[in-house]
Amino acid sequence: MFFIIALLCLLPIISSPVALILGFTLASFGFVPTKLNIAAATKKLLAYSIIGLGFGIHLDQAIAASTQGFGLIVGSIFFTLTFGWFLTKALRLEQKTGHLIASGTAICGGSAIAAVAPAINARDDQTSLALATVFVLNSIALFIFPAIGHLLEMSQHAFGTWAAIAIHDTSSVVGAAGAYGDEALRTATTIKLARALWIVPIAFLSALLFKGDNKKIGIPYFILFYCLAIVFAHFVPSLENIYSHIFVASKRLLVVCLFLIGSGITIQKLRASGLKPLLLGVLLWVAIGVGSLSYILLNVA
């Protein structure tokens, strides 16, 4: 059943939120193969999907989106990390757990947590709590962001910018933006990956602050290949028909990724996340979500 539903996620009949719910449902009823390394499979498929999306993004649009969103990206990252530090103190939460949640909120969810955790020598339970918190909020984002966007009648570009800044994981960003429209997807993917580039400097900074090991920082090389895909498509336009098929296939593969992410979420993990980490995650998310939305509605067409 697990593999059949995974294949069905490749079809247009299943949307991103539905795929996530299907994965969560199977995990809750114990229908997920225990020998399957879902986390590793998701990481690889997500990387391939992002690279494939690069073939559907025009170079001039990518440069424009990254340039226009630079100030918002930098401002949101450092605001989130600073606010997260104060909230962690106020909630009397473990400093490393709080920093991991703030890093995931500021940059790109699970990927940022995975990169920062070894750099600050975080324990497994601290990393798990941060990941569980981010996964819960990512799941909610898939449903409420497109609804809010339509309610506020946001343009494709404005919604894509907001999704890229305010949603944690890349998978959920492209899932929500893809549900809103292709232009929103292109904008969100470009800005989101520009935001994800900050994983490396933030991980190094975290290692210095917590006196961790900066030799254990993971570098997201798929971002480089994503950029190369955009450049290749720009300089070899004769294959445009093939690029469009790759772009569509990558969008469907992202839905499969969300199904796999849902398959890794269980009731036990949600309970283990506890109240304080979840409260920290929600407060940070609301702050960056409302703040960035206000800025975008006033400044982005």
CA distance 196 to 189: 10
The count of domains in the chain is 1
pLDDT tens per residue across all 301 residues of the chain: 888 998 998 888 887 778 878 888 888 888 888 787 887 787 788 788 878 888 987 888 777 766 767 888 889 999 999 999 999 999 999 999 999 999 999 987 777 887 788 788 887 678 777 877 887 888 888 889 999 999 999 999 999 999 999 998 888 898 899 889 989 998 898 888 888 778 778 888 888 888 766 666 666 677 788 889 989 999 999 998 999 999 889 888 878 887 887 787 777 766 766 688 889 999 999 999 999 999 999 887 6
Tokens of 211: 């006196």
HEC assignment per residue over the chain: CHHHHHHHCCCCCCCHHHHHHHHHHHHHCCCCCCCCCHHHHHHHHHHHHHHHHHCCCCHHHHHHHHHHCHHHHHHHHHHHHHHHHHHHHHHCCCHHHHHHHHHHHHCCHHHHHHHHHHHCCCCHHHHHHHHHHHHHHHHHHHHHHHHHHHHCCCCHHHHHHHHHHHCCCHHHHHHHHHHHCHHHHHHHHHHHHHHHCCHHHHHHHHHHHCCCCHHHCCCCCHHHHHHHHHHHHHHCHHHHHHHHHHHHHHHHHHHHHHHHHHHCCCHHHHHHCCHHHHHHHHHHHHHHHHHHHHHHHHHCC
CA distance 273 to 7: 31
CA distance 105 to 165: 9
Note the pLDDT of residue 217.
63
Instruction: Name which of 239, 220, 222, 198 is nearest 102 in CA terms.
Output: 198
Q: Identify the domain containing residue 114 by its residue range.
A: 1-300
Note the pLDDT of residue 290.
94
> Looking up tokens 């949307």, which residue turns up?
15
**200, 219 Cβ separation under 8 angstroms:** yes
Note the pLDDT of residue 213.
63
